[in-house]
Amino acid sequence: MVSRIAFLAKLRHPFETNDPGRRVAYEVLFMVPAIVAVGIFGRAAASDVAYTIILTIIFTVTIIFRFLLVNEKGDWLFFLVGIIAGGGNDLSSMINGVYNYTSLTVLPFLSGLMPAWMIAFWGQVFLLFRKLFNHPWFKGPGFKKDKEFLRGW
């Protein structure tokens, strides 16, 4: 057990950083395999469920490695909010006929609606948004109390 913990600590070391730019880059790095996989297998997944399974496995493995290597406090919450909000919005759009995915699904209750990998992808997107919008480029000046109504607290 101790050797596994030591191994993970050594593996995580290059990814531990306080630099916001690197944190965004690492999130993008973990999204690239999923995006490339959709580019390669996405069209084939519309006619053969085996490709949907391959995509789901690639997404799952990528997310597991992402959480093992760059997980920070609160990441699981953002991942789950992304699944619920992003995936829920996607599902709602398809139920209402706004658009639909051509990829076959492996989950019977999503049949004809959306593939499981898309739900997981929304979780990853929210993690990227979290890191991106925590970058200093997107932060304004610090909050200062000025005791005037609607201008500060």
Name the nearest CA neighbour of 119 among 132, 130, 106: 106
Name the nearest CA neighbour of 24 among 138, 128, 136: 128
Q: Determine how many CB atoms are found less than 10 A away from the CB of residue 86.
A: 19
Average pLDDT value for the chain:
80
CA distance 42 to 103: 7
What pLDDT does residue 153 have?
Answer: 53
Which residues have C-beta within 8 Å of that of residue 38, sequence separation ≥ 6?
55, 117
State the pLDDT confidence band at 10, using cuts at 50, 70 and 90. Answer: low
Token pair belonging to 3: 């050797």
For the question of whether the overall pTM of this predicted structure is more than 0.85, the answer is no
